[in-house]
Amino acid sequence: MSSSESRLPYGTISGKKLVMQFSAYDIDLPVLAAGLRERLDVLHELDVAFAGFGTEVPSSVSDQTPVMVKCFFEYVGKDSDAAVVLKKAYHVVWSGMIDAFPEMAEWATAKADLSELTAAQAEMLRARKGQ
């Protein structure tokens, strides 16, 4: 870690860039997107630009190796200490994710629906292969 880099519990600030990372076991893209949408106006006021998010596939995938979800931000302002502003942005994103997170019953239903969709897709692939 260089002197211009600082670590946060779920992210790293390096220069004018913030990379937040989450385990796909814990946080998935729709939750992250909802939290970002909830707080994009605040990030704009902080002069922090959202630069995208996505998954990083590990070199070897197993049941014990979750995919990492990464979210990228950049400080585009000129008048403040980038690290201080990006730490604020980090907390703003987390608060947005918490505020946007669905109630447990709604979350469980969504996860069950996704599970059924995944199983149906797998069954369709097996049928195409003639198994």
Confidence of residue 26 (pLDDT cuts 50, 70, 90): confident
Considering the domain architecture, whether residues 26 and 86 belong to the same structural domain is answered as: yes
Q: Is-above-0.85 flag for pTM?
A: no
Q: Pull the structure tokens for residue 87.
A: 């730490």
Q: What is the sign of the dihedral through the CA atoms of 32, 29, 31 and 36?
A: positive
Whose CA is closest to 21, among 58, 69, 86? Answer: 69
Considering the domain architecture, whether residues 89 and 121 belong to the same structural domain is answered as: no
Considering the domain architecture, whether residues 21 and 55 belong to the same structural domain is answered as: yes
Confidence of residue 13 (pLDDT cuts 50, 70, 90): very high
CA distances 123 to 108, 112, 114, Å, are 23, 17, 14
Q: Pull the structure tokens for residue 25.
A: 């076991």
Confidence of residue 23 (pLDDT cuts 50, 70, 90): confident
Q: Pull the structure tokens for residue 17.
A: 């860039």
Total domains, the chain: 2
Considering the domain architecture, whether residues 110 and 63 belong to the same structural domain is answered as: no
Domain that holds residue 111: 103-131
Whose CA is closest to 15, among 72, 69, 99, 95? Answer: 72
Considering the domain architecture, whether residues 130 and 79 belong to the same structural domain is answered as: no
Could you list the beta-strand ranges (E) of 1-131.
5-8, 11-14, 17-23, 48-56, 68-75
The enclosing domain of 85 has a CATH number of 3.30.1360
Considering the domain architecture, whether residues 71 and 36 belong to the same structural domain is answered as: yes
Residues 34-38, mean pLDDT to the nearest whole number: 84
Considering the domain architecture, whether residues 82 and 120 belong to the same structural domain is answered as: no
Report whether pLDDT(41) > 80: yes
